[in-house]
Structures are given as C-alpha cells and as structure tokens.
Amino acid sequence: MKLNGRLKDLFEAFTKINETALQDERLISSHVLSKAPNYNDILKKFLLKEPPHSPNSKSWRFYYALLLLFIKYLLNNLGHLAFILTALLAIKLSGFKTFSLKTNKNPQAFLFIDTFLLIPKIIQDKCFKEAYLPNLKAQNLQRIYIFRLYGSRNPLKIYQAFKILSKQKDFEQLPFLALTDLNLLSFSDFLSLLKHIALFPFSLLRLIKTIKQSELYRNKSDDSPIPYILDSLKQSLGHCNLIPEARRLFGLRLGQVLNLYVDESLLSKSRLISWHENQSINKAFYYGLRQASGLIPVNNTRNNQANKAPLKSLPIIGLQLFIFPHNLLNCYPDALETKMGLAPDITMYSGKYFISQNPDENILGNSNSFVQKLELGASLRYAQLFKQLRNEDFKLARKRLNTQAFTSCLVLLSYHPDETRLILNFVKEISLLHPEFSFSLRFHPATQIQDFQTLLPEKYTLAKGSLYDNFADFSFVLGSGSGALTEAVALGVPAVHIDNETDNEDISLNYLGEFGKNILWVRVNNKNTFLEAIEKLAKQTKASEHELLTTQFRELFFIEPTQEAIQKMLK
C-alpha cells in the first residue's frame, strides 16, 4: 500500500513542514500536523483544487474571526482541563484502585496495554470487555491496562463505569490491574498544562509566519499543497490540543516511575502494547516515555531530572490492527517522525496489504536515531470473522442467498458523518426508483440515528443482532467509509461501495483496496449504474473462481489471531 499522485504530494509537504514544526515540543499536539485529513477537510479541498481560504489580514473581519477562534480555543482547552480534574475525582470516589508501581510486589516483567476505555459500553454491559486489543496475554508478563477514557465526559457516568471496574477481574479471572492516562499527573503537571494552553497559539502563529517566509512557500507551484496546510493550521487555532500534551506528561511520569522502581533487566523484558492510529495522542505519549529515559531532552527545567536517569527504555509496540483506506495519511509511517522518537519501535499491521513486500522498506530510521520496524501482527479484533468461516450454518445461508434474486441489502453506515449522509441519500433515491429492493440499516455504534432522521428512506428496517449474523441474512452489503465492508467481502458477501460523484477516487474512504474489484465488489457513484452493478455481482458470485478470490482477498487484509500468532507478536 503506497501513496501516489496528489496524496503523496500532500504527505511529503507535511513532512517538509514538520522538519521545522516538530522542533517545538508544543506542536506535537497539533492534530493537523499529525496528518489527520478529517481536520478542516484539507484532503477534500486539496484534491478538488478548491481555493484555500485567504482572508484579508487588514480587514476588521479577519481580526474578529481570529478573536472568535481564540475564545473557542480557550473554552475547548480549559473545558478539557476541567474534565481531567472531574474525571480524576470521579475515579477516586468510585473506589477503583489504580495500579501502583511503587507498591507492586510481583517480580514479573510488565505487559502494558494502552487502549480505549469505552465508558457507555461498560455501563451497558456491566463489565469491561476489551474491544480493541482482546485476549492479549503472555507467559511471565504481568498485564496492566492503561486506559484512555472515551465516549463520555459525564463525571457520573465515569464514576459508574469505574465502580463496575472496581469489582471486576480480567478475562483470565486474574486481579484487574489498570491505571488511566490521567493518573500520575502532579500539581506541577497541571501548571504545565495551563502553560501549554497559554503558549500553544503563539507556537502555532510563529510556525505559520515561518512557513510564509520560507523558501518552500516562496518557490511553491500553482499546484502546491503548502497553502492548503497553512489554511488548515490557521483554522486549527480553535482546536482542543490539550489531550496530546496531557498524554506526553503521563508518558514522562510513567517512564520516570519505571526508572525508579523497576530493575533494568526486568524493564527490557517488559512491553508496551499500544492501540496505534499514529495520531498526536500516540506520538506525544511515546515522546514522553523516551524523554523519561533520557533519549530525548526535556525542555522544562523541573523535568530535567528525567535526563539523569539511566538509559532504560520500555519497548513500544504499536498495533495498527485495523483496516484503513488509502487516503488516511496519518496511518502511513513517516521516517521523520521515527527519527524524532514519535513512532513505536515496532508497528504491526492486520494484513500484508498494508506493508511492503520489500523487507528493506519496512525499516525506518537508522542507528544514529530511533528505528521503527513494520511487521505483520494478528487481527485481534477480527477473531469472529475466522469463527464464522468455519460456521456451517453460515456457509449454507450464503449458498442459498447466492442462488436467489439479489434484492435484500444490508446498509453499513460509517463513523464519518459525511459518508453516512452520502450513503443515506443514495439509498433514499434507489428505494424510490427500485421498490423491489429492501434495505436494512446498520448504524455505526458511535453514531445516533436521530442525527440523520431527515435522510432516512421511506421504507427501511434496522438491522438487529451481531454484524456477522447479519452477513448471513442479506444478498449483498452496501456502504462507504467502513471497514465492515472489508469484513463482508472477506466472508464472500458481495459488496457495493458508494462513491461521491466527483470521479476522484482519492476522496472516497474506500477500505477495500483494488483487489477483487468488479468481481467480489463494485464501485457505484450514481443511481443509474446501480442495477448494472447488482447484476454483475449476482453473476460473479456463481463464477468458479469466486471462492478462491475471496480467500486471496481475506489473506491480504487479515491474519487469524491464534495463540501462536499472538505470542509471536509479543516477542
């Protein structure tokens, strides 16, 4: 999986800017500089060549807009600081005992699992079920969760969730050991966060000025991505960037505690396993850990004691074990970020589609800096997919559906609101033009149906039960911006990928790659080609090579998470 064309130009422009930007520690917190393309629609604007926003800096409207951005910035960041304080209070009142290295008596090395804690899900299930990195265990390693709170900022719900956790054992019925990425922060760290809030806008404005005065900007071509990045940076003045900085400080404190209380030989046997999306929250955390080991200088004078510690470093394994489309730039490794200590020691992927077949291209950095290795892992989140493959009832159901008329459709809606709107508008049109089709909608767990009420078709049902059970009930699936489409095709379920009407495939969040196109799945960007696409799919499912191609597709994206594969990952 490689970047090409204008996507590659945009990625390389970010890297050029980051050579300067990331010298300022505060700018590690910038979501825009992490190349997350969903911020300010930079990807869409650049690919469609929409002119970047260029306000007149001498106009009163410019200064008024700037003032509003600063107010929004302060409200967002001070609000998050208040959230951290109330969340810590809620956790303390819940009675949940966070893990402490100071009082730990277990002589084993550690397996730290850095993952999301879905607050609403815990309250709903009355227990914690790891959704991102399930069933991770290793012999002779003590398992400790590092939770990133997600899904609710309501202190009462956080209290309820941790009250449930305080009574729970883990999936092996062992004592539940965990801390959050808010623990270990001291009073001085909260002062540092206030300082970060005060100084970050000036760091960002200084960067914008530096870019405008640079040779890179002066010699830009008419087709250059630089003005689009500048525009996105200006708009990001109102963003909340306190979360990555809090993660950096947590990483720094965790590393310091490890240096103080853990023997060097024990630390070298330990592992940090992190759910890795290569976002600013990931990069800042790794950076803080390495600052604690003295591998990266610490700017703050109080924290310079970290540099005097022995050079002990916790090995960092980033698990990027999810399906992602080719245009999510943050999901690609960057040699510059590796060199600066912002990347894991090893990044693991869900399938061979995501890494180069040339081993030399899977090692970034060199002996004079940090090194990042790109390797294959095990598809931990997709264990059910492999169970379904061996389910005889599922196989029979698919054979039956493939011989019937292709009229029942499971609509897989996206986490991304724009993609969900695109799909619902398409389904609404098709349901009016072709009433013989029935549509069952499956919303992403993180979205609310009421947010899209006006876009719902006249006739529809809501899919119930598990996703994999649904795959046995419908002729084909339809969607965009969802990895569930990839899971469907990997199980032999025909898929229709809905594209926007721009004819620019780089804009669509296509999780299917290119393999199997027009055989296992098809792209449709208007209602007039829908029937033709369905007829093509129905014909192809009966072809003799369909099963072989499905197997090859599955092997591109997924690796079965057997115990052997998991243990290999942890070594």
CA 526 – CA 521 distance, rounded (Å): 16
pLDDT in tens, 437-482: 999 999 998 788 989 999 999 899 999 999 999 999 999 999 999 9
Are residues 143 and 113 in contact, defined by beta-carbon separation less than 8 angstroms? yes
358 and 300 in contact (C-beta within 8 Å)?
no
Query: Would you identify the CATH topology of the domain 384-557?
Result: Rossmann fold (3.40.50)
**pLDDT reported for residue 63:** 79
pLDDT for the residue 61: 77
CA distances from 264 to 250, 309, 327, 369 (A): 20, 11, 41, 21
pLDDT of res. 173: 65
pLDDT at 277: 95
- Strand residue runs (E) in 291-415: 316-320, 346-349, 363-365, 371-376, 408-412
Q: Are 484 and 468 in contact (CB under 8 A)?
A: no
Helix (H) or strand (E) holding 110: strand 109-118
Interior angle at CA 384, CA 476 and CA 499, nearest 5: 35
Strands 371-376 and 363-365: antiparallel
Count the alpha carbons within 13 Å of 236 in the hemisphere toward its beta carbon: 31
Alpha helices in 214-292 (DSSP H): 215-218, 226-235, 242-261, 264-269, 280-292
Sheet of 408-412, strand order: 461-462, 438-442, 408-412, 476-479, 495-498, 521-524
Amino acid 306: pLDDT? 42
Q: What is the pLDDT of residue 519?
A: 93
The owner of tokens 């499912």 is 541
Q: In whole angstroms, give the CA distance from residue 255 to residue 260.
A: 9
| pLDDT given for residue 298 in this prediction | 73
β-pairing, 109-118 vs 141-150, is parallel
Distance from C-alpha of 437 to C-alpha of 271, rounded to nearest angstrom: 51
Cα torsion 281, 282, 283, 287 to 10°: value is 100
How is residue 186 written in tokens? 């001291």
Q: How far is residue 80's CA from residue 86's CA, in Å, rounded to a whole number?
A: 10
Quote the pLDDT of residue 308.
46
Domain boundaries, the chain: 1-377, 384-557
Contacting residues for 370 by C-beta, under 8 A, at least 6 apart: 290, 295, 338, 339, 340, 341, 343, 345
Report pLDDT digits (tens) over 229-262: 999 999 898 889 999 999 999 999 999 999 888 8
Q: Is 451 helix (H, G, I), strand (E, B) or coil?
A: helix
Q: Which residues of the chain have pLDDT under 50?
A: 300-311
How many other CB atoms are found less than 10 A from the CB of residue 278? 25
pLDDT at 365: 83
**Around Cβ 168, how many Cβ atoms within 10 Å?**
15
For 176-208, b/e burial (b = at least 16 CB within 10 A) is bbbbbbbbbbeeebeebbeebbeebbebbeebb
